[in-house]
Structure 1
Amino acid sequence: MAKFQAVGLLLAAFVCPSLSNPIHAPNVTSSQNGKPLLEDFDALGAWFDGVAAINHSSIPRQPNVSIAIVGGGISGLATALMLDSVGIHNWEIIEASERVGGRFRTKYVGGTQEWAEMGPMRLPYNVTYRSDNSTHVYSDHQMVFQLADWLNDLNHNDSHWKVDFIPWIQHHPNELLARGTGRLPDGRVPTRADIQANSSLGTAAPLTSTEYNDTKAKMNQILKVENRLKAIQRDVWRQHGVAMAEGLDDVSEQAMMRLEWHASENVTDAIWTNTDYDVFWDEMTHNSNLGLDGGSGSLGETQWKCVDGGFNRLSDAFIPHVSDRLTLNRKITKLDPIEANGTTRTRLSWYEGSGKNRTTHTKDFDYTIMAVPFTMTRFMDLPSFSSVLSRASSEAGLRFKSACKVSLLFEERFWEKGERPIFGGYSQPESAAVGALYYPVYGLNETGRPGLITHYRGGDWSDRFVSFSDEQHAELVLDAIADLHGEEVLDLYTGDFERLCWLQDEHTATSWTRPDIEQHKLYIPSYHKTEHNTIFIGEHTAPTHAWVSSSLHSSVRGAVQLLLGLGLVDEAKELNQRWMGRWIDLE
């Protein structure tokens, strides 16, 4: 009980930060041995401050080492180009599939120009608060827009490779919300605007007791403090360090409610099962920080953007710069550390052919950067890493989540017509299994244009959907659309669809990372240490997880980690300043 009392005291100090008295990260540490490495600095917070403060290194410069980058997703691609930008060119990207992009997965459906995102589909851009009408940029996500600008410059704004952004419409007033809501007097499903005008039509809280309301209010005092959310938007990395220091990785939401606030089992379960998070930090940075929908109970509204033409345009823009050092269709099965003459190298193995004709091939590199999720490295034969890193990457360690998407093509955009037209946003059918139905945000109100409706479901539902055939899944979604919009839409369905359940993808077997309690503080510092000349990167290794900016942060961190280990301090500081400079503060 003492642990929970301590956490409670920390949270009491935590929930009322002041913008006039900002919270600072723990002090920057520095190497005492003349050999500064990334592990010497604050892995949970402002590690980039430590790198910026380096003024020397006793590690001999090694600019010509060979580097394997395993994985051609956004983390691997960005790492390669970042190294290239500071003069490190002896790298090779090794990708198991036939394409680059990883979990970027844009599909054009039915031979049309209608595109569906089977992977990421939007980026948070800024948020405007109700209290003072102030607008705040999500500063960490600006890394993605910085990357796009860089690629556009490198590609001389060639239209074939150009990356442009358009607004993503997260919500529209005429979205239809059928699940758990009331009905209008004429029996119709209410729109979002209807519910905002008459809250009695909205989804009822799971409980209405005083205990439930009081406990929910205590949760909101942690999760929805405006000053704190603004601080996260301004500098998520320092705020991560603060949250870890204040105990927000030490206890689950359920444990806090039961053991610190003495809520009943029923109230604890009602609040917990109404969200998809167990850990305060993750819910605070994702649901609370990004999920500002502008509704009556929201602190403000988030504005979003997406890639015009789909996220694959962002990964494809790397191709002119990596194609000469890119190997596709090579699935690494083993990594061996090779010791010789007092030095360590890495040997990668893979198979060619199959059955009796299968042969093993190897290639040696000085360093390997592993840019694939742990769900894939678990299938590799790896050396013994430190206990913490081995557990983090094991099936018992870092948790991953999945998702399914199905996009159905219709001859015309019937949802954009009639008395209550819908432009963007998403509707919720009565079917809990289907969850949400997203409408396209491009080509709005164009005469005669076909369109896609995309079903998106994550968590446990997506795990169960892998038991469905493609056709079964598509029919379930079609039925949900007809339930919302009327049986007449069945005649407009073309029969063309795309489906992807990420657990079935042989190159990822996951969608994103969802750490459990204690895993941030324990595991993240282990990624900042280079073992067996191997560095692990990817969104799963970043404090924010599951966003493109997480992948890019891991690329900067991994590249800087490698450069410091090679004694290339000037190059490390240059990359650090270019990508993390907006947060560097050595005062």
Structure 2
Amino acid sequence: MAIHAILLSALATFQLSYARVVSPHTERSIQNARPLLRDFDALGAWYDGVAGIKQSAIPRQPNVTIAIVGAGISGLTTALMLDSVGVHNWEIVEASDRVGGRFRTKFFADTQEWVEMGPMRLPYTITYDSDNSTHEYTDHRMVFQLAEWLNELNHHDPRWEVEFIPWIQHHPNELMARGGKKTSDGRIPTRADIAANAELQSAPPLLTADYNSTKEKMNAILKNETTLRAIQKDVWRAHRAAMDRGLDDISQQAMMRNVFNASENTTDAIWTASDYDLFWDEMVHNSNLAQDGSSGTLGETEWKCIDKGFNKLSDAFIPLISDRIVLNRKITKLEAVNGSSGLPRTRLSWHTGGKDRGLSHKDYDFTIITAPFTVTRFMDLPKFSSVLGRAISEAGLRFKSACKVALLFRERFWEKGERPIFGGYSQPLSVAVGALYYPVYGHNETGRPGAIIHYRGGDWSDRYMSFSDEQHVEQVLDAIVSLHGEQARELYTGQFERLCWLEDEHSATSWCRPDVQQHALYIPAYHATEHNTIFIGEHTAPTHAWVSSSIHSSVRGAIQLLLEIGMVAEAKALNARWMGRWIDFGV
């Protein structure tokens, strides 16, 4: 009875709670003379606490040595942030032979065609139907802020300039074969056809009163405009509100079955249509990806991407910090050791290669680990606290994968004919293939080649691991032919790119997908420094999977370190520069 009563009461006050939690804060001074990041609200506006620090009795240690494990966007950004406040004695240790981590832009030989095998788009603004107002996604604004900063530091050198172009999430002429319905003249319907004719829309999985009632109750949580606006405007205070409402304590299936008293059939039909377990994850999804302007959505998201790919962003760090990056050094062990002065330090070890396969090591005062737990689980680590240790363990934080296959064609046949397609994605009849994305650049250029990208995440990507390159390419090509005819097969060049992220030895995952109670329990553990080690990366942030998650973790990690070494003024400076738009947030 207790959990039912608590959850029902929470749901009754859900909107009111968001309005209360995201109202302007009252600045708090910190009474503790030794303020550390763990003192502040890890699940919400921790940056308010940093802004309110008045003093610190921790001795300043500006010359500590720092290892940053991983040269993905989290590691690169952390390094540059530390540099910006006068902390220069750091070194990035990267296992691979490149920077960029899960950024993976690929160019096809002898062409200007590029495809993203990793991140590919950024939510920019949203326009609501209810009042026709437009608002920016404040947390994603961090990516644009980082690009602006890099461009300034590189003096807008064309070799390193990061420029944004529109990402076309949807196009009216996308082909929607999923569901098998055809137009009156026998064509595969387009997105515009379906919007104009309700009979072409896919039917819901069930047509029962129980299904409709339960779906309405779930949408009251997942697609509530007040909630989504709060997430878009101040994701961290919105996260705290969701945690306070108990939405991390129960799965969507449990809510439908045990609170809304839905049948097993209804519960399964609704859950399997989205595959989200956590309310928070799906609310974040609905705040951007689901707002496509179609019938039933609250508005439309405007998207951006990086011209010539996301690796332009990570490459822009190279002239600024390349003198302190060590490549091809895969850390296999982290130890807590005592230095000559008796103070705690960290020791990183790695295999030197060669016949003896010996170990080399180097000691640092602090280590910041950016690699996902899918990688650190293979490291020999010291014993961390129970919660942090469990988060890192194989039974702890949950991750998901993805696969992409990009096929190059001699001509962009999809841009021709009566219903040309420019950007967006089509859905073939094959559920396994999922979505087929078209280029968002180089439109209407005579004779220009182009690539179509197949994307599949979650369990499908795990299954695709059993395919050979040839099998996977063949299935994707067949799906493209099913939409566009045999011309696609004739124009295929034979060039392709394929990446299933579980096969990538330096990540072994695509993004984090936490389980029930893992936010409320694990995130505070990341804000506490143990064995002079700090864990950052998108998996440690509230939003996951987005580039902004990685950058947010960099801000948090850099500030966490600065407070540990008594550099409060510098921590507050970083806080004001990167988190300032939320510190002074108002409704």
Provide the TM-score with structure 1 as the length reference: 0.98
Kept in 2: contact 1:28–1:42 (CA 8 A): no
Amino acid at match of 1:406: V
Kept in 1: contact 2:17–2:241 (CA 8 A): no
How many percent identity over aligned positions? 71
Kept in 2: contact 1:16–1:225 (CA 8 A): no
Kept in 1: contact 2:331–2:348 (CA 8 A): yes
Kept in 1: contact 2:18–2:230 (CA 8 A): no
After TM superposition, give the deviation of residue 110 of structure 1 in Å.
3.4
User: Is 1:284–2:280 an aligned residue pair?
Assistant: no
Kept in 2: contact 1:346–1:364 (CA 8 A): yes
User: 2:347 maps to which residue?
Assistant: 347
User: 1:142 maps to which residue?
Assistant: 141
User: Is 1:422–2:421 an aligned residue pair?
Assistant: yes
User: 1:182 maps to which residue?
Assistant: 181
Describe how 1:531-546 pairs up with structure 2 within 5 A. Answer: 531-546=530-545
Amino acid at match of 2:73: I
| CA-to-aligned-CA distance 1:545-566 (integer Å, 9 cap, x gap) | 1100000000000000000000
Distance 1:438 1:564 in 2: 45
Question: Residue 344 of structure 2 aligns to a residue in which SS?
Answer: strand
User: 1:445 maps to which residue?
Assistant: 444
| CA-to-aligned-CA distance 1:454-476 (integer Å, 9 cap, x gap) | 00000000001011111111111
Amino acid at match of 2:40: F
| CA-to-aligned-CA distance 1:120-165 (integer Å, 9 cap, x gap) | 0000001101111011100100000000000000000000000000
User: 1:460 maps to which residue?
Assistant: 459
Distance 1:176 1:79 in 2: 42
After TM superposition, give the deviation of residue 242 of structure 1 in Å.
1.0
User: 1:497 maps to which residue?
Assistant: 496
User: Is 1:219–2:206 an aligned residue pair?
Assistant: no
User: 1:570 maps to which residue?
Assistant: 569
Distance 1:144 1:368 in 2: 24
User: 1:583 maps to which residue?
Assistant: 582
User: 1:2 maps to which residue?
Assistant: 2
User: 1:392 maps to which residue?
Assistant: 391
Amino acid at match of 1:435: G
Distance 2:21 2:6 in 1: 22
Distance 1:42 1:17 in 2: 17
User: 2:306 maps to which residue?
Assistant: 307
After TM superposition, give the deviation of residue 26 of structure 1 in Å.
8.8
- In terms of mean alpha carbon deviation, does 179-188 or 47-56 score higher? 179-188
Distance 2:40 2:567 in 1: 17
Q: 1:221 to 1:25 in 2, by over 3 A?
A: farther
Describe how 1:193-342 pairs up with structure 2 within 5 A. Answer: 193-340=192-339, 341-342=341-342
Question: Residue 293 of structure 2 aligns to a residue in which SS?
Answer: coil
Distance 1:44 1:306 in 2: 29
Distance 1:13 1:310 in 2: 44
User: 2:125 maps to which residue?
Assistant: 126
User: Is 1:87–2:86 an aligned residue pair?
Assistant: yes
Describe how 1:548-559 pairs up with structure 2 within 5 A. Answer: 548-559=547-558
Question: Residue 456 of structure 2 aligns to a residue in which SS?
Answer: strand
Amino acid at match of 2:578: W
| CA-to-aligned-CA distance 1:154-185 (integer Å, 9 cap, x gap) | 00000000000000000000000001141112
After TM superposition, give the deviation of residue 429 of structure 1 in Å.
0.2
Kept in 1: contact 2:15–2:226 (CA 8 A): no
Kept in 2: contact 1:143–1:549 (CA 8 A): yes
User: 2:519 maps to which residue?
Assistant: 520
After TM superposition, give the deviation of residue 202 of structure 1 in Å.
1.2
Distance 1:444 1:335 in 2: 50
| CA-to-aligned-CA distance 1:390-423 (integer Å, 9 cap, x gap) | 0001110100000000000000000000011000
- In terms of mean alpha carbon deviation, does 435-444 or 231-240 score higher? 231-240
User: 2:485 maps to which residue?
Assistant: 486
Q: 1:269 to 1:26 in 2, by over 3 A?
A: farther
Q: 1:46 to 1:579 in 2, by over 3 A?
A: same
Question: Residue 357 of structure 1 aligns to a residue in which SS?
Answer: coil
| CA-to-aligned-CA distance 1:200-247 (integer Å, 9 cap, x gap) | 101110001111011000011001111221111110011101110111
CA-based RMSD of the aligned residues comes to: 1.5
Kept in 2: contact 1:17–1:228 (CA 8 A): no
The alignment of Structure 1 onto Structure 2 pairs a total of residues equal to: 585
Question: Residue 140 of structure 2 aligns to a residue in which SS?
Answer: helix
After TM superposition, give the deviation of residue 489 of structure 1 in Å.
1.5
Distance 1:361 1:30 in 2: 45
| CA-to-aligned-CA distance 1:239-282 (integer Å, 9 cap, x gap) | 10111011110100000000001000000000000002100011
| CA-to-aligned-CA distance 1:85-104 (integer Å, 9 cap, x gap) | 00000000000000000000
User: 1:115 maps to which residue?
Assistant: 114
| CA-to-aligned-CA distance 1:31-90 (integer Å, 9 cap, x gap) | 543000000000000000000011100000000000000000000000000000000000
Provide the TM-score with structure 2 as the length reference: 0.98
Distance 2:460 2:327 in 1: 32
Amino acid at match of 1:537: I
User: 1:412 maps to which residue?
Assistant: 411
User: Is 1:41–2:46 an aligned residue pair?
Assistant: no
Kept in 1: contact 2:408–2:494 (CA 8 A): yes
After TM superposition, give the deviation of residue 290 of structure 1 in Å.
3.3
Amino acid at match of 1:243: A
| CA-to-aligned-CA distance 1:525-554 (integer Å, 9 cap, x gap) | 000000000000000000111100000000
Kept in 1: contact 2:43–2:523 (CA 8 A): yes
Kept in 2: contact 1:25–1:241 (CA 8 A): no
Amino acid at match of 1:342: G
Unaligned runs of 5+ in 1: none
Kept in 2: contact 1:67–1:91 (CA 8 A): yes
Amino acid at match of 1:414: F
Distance 1:373 1:18 in 2: 31
Question: Residue 173 of structure 1 aligns to a residue in which SS?
Answer: coil
User: 1:403 maps to which residue?
Assistant: 402
Distance 2:382 2:534 in 1: 13
After TM superposition, give the deviation of residue 29 of structure 1 in Å.
6.7
Question: Residue 454 of structure 1 aligns to a residue in which SS?
Answer: strand
User: 1:476 maps to which residue?
Assistant: 475
Distance 1:234 1:446 in 2: 39
Describe how 1:55-70 pairs up with structure 2 within 5 A. Answer: 55-70=54-69
Distance 2:91 2:8 in 1: 49
Question: Residue 521 of structure 1 aligns to a residue in which SS?
Answer: helix
Kept in 1: contact 2:105–2:116 (CA 8 A): yes
